[in-house]
Amino acid sequence: MLEIQCFTFNPFQENTYLLINEKKDCIIIDPGCYFEEERKELLAYIEKEGLNVTRLLNTHCHLDHIFGNRLVAKTYGVGLEIHMLDKIVLDRSPEIGKMYNVPFEPSVEPARYLEEGEKIQLGDDELVVLLTPGHSPGSVCFYCAVQQFVIGGDVLFYQSIGRTDLPGGNHQTLINSIQEKLFVLPDDVTVYPGHGQPTTIGFEKKNNPFLH
């Protein structure tokens, strides 16, 4: 049984997720800690709870989701895992940071690439990688069928969807990803997005104005 811990970090108010099992093993998804106090908050929580960080995953590589990649990788000795199609986004992130006037320590390079349909194990718990491009070329979501939740990155939000005006984004591709990969999941699946509050698949099917 996974516990989901969420931190909201950085000027973009990004959601960083820790998935924690009963043995205190932990996966970190999209560490967005930017300011020094945010970085300290994340490390202090992990230390206080006695967590063993086993993996570092990015749903996608826009800068607000990767600010803490190097910190996590170096502190806990874990390799970064992303989808190969988002490597170009990762490579461009330092110059994008300068453009937005948020310079940051560049991310570590990926240690390995995630595959569509791959199973990610944390002890007895399992997540499946769903390739959901559109917001970025290699956006992925992490679906836990047993606990009926998905860590969705910037694909689907409460009554909204990810923006598609950034390089590599495509509106129709994003709509297709949501319809074909997320809306086929059970209605009561909770979506934990990269920004804002959680929602459910069923609620968004009925109420999301971008998908009618």
Identify the domain containing residue 112 by its residue range. Answer: 3-211
Q: What is the pLDDT of residue 116?
A: 98
pLDDT range class, residue 16, cuts 50, 70, 90: very high
pTM of the model as a whole: 0.98
pLDDT digits (tens, 9 = 90+) for 146-170: 999 999 999 999 999 999 999 899 9
Count of domains for the chain: 1
pLDDT digits (tens, 9 = 90+) for 21-63: 999 999 999 999 999 999 999 999 999 999 999 999 999 999 9
Please identify which residue in the block is written with the tokens 């609620």. Answer: 203
pLDDT digits (tens, 9 = 90+) for 75-126: 999 999 999 999 999 999 999 999 999 999 999 999 999 999 999 999 999 9
pLDDT above 90: residue 187: yes
SS3 sequence of the chain: CCEEEEEEECCCCEEEEEEECCCCEEEEECCCCCCHHHHHHHHHHHHHHCCEEEEEECCCCCHHHCCCHHHHHHHHCCCEEEEHHHHHHHHHHHHHHHHCCCCCCCCCCEEEEECCCCEEEECCEEEEEEECCCCCCCCEEEEECCCCEEEEECCEECCEECCCCCCCCCHHHHHHHHHHHHCCCCCCCEEEECCCCCEEHHHHHHHCHHHC
Task: Return the CATH number at 194.
Answer: 3.60.15.10
Average pLDDT in the chain: 97
| Contact (CB, 8 A) for 37 and 62 | no
Q: What is the pLDDT of residue 130?
A: 98
Distance CA 198, CA 165 (A): 23
C-alpha angle 129/116/25, rounded to 5°?
A: 30
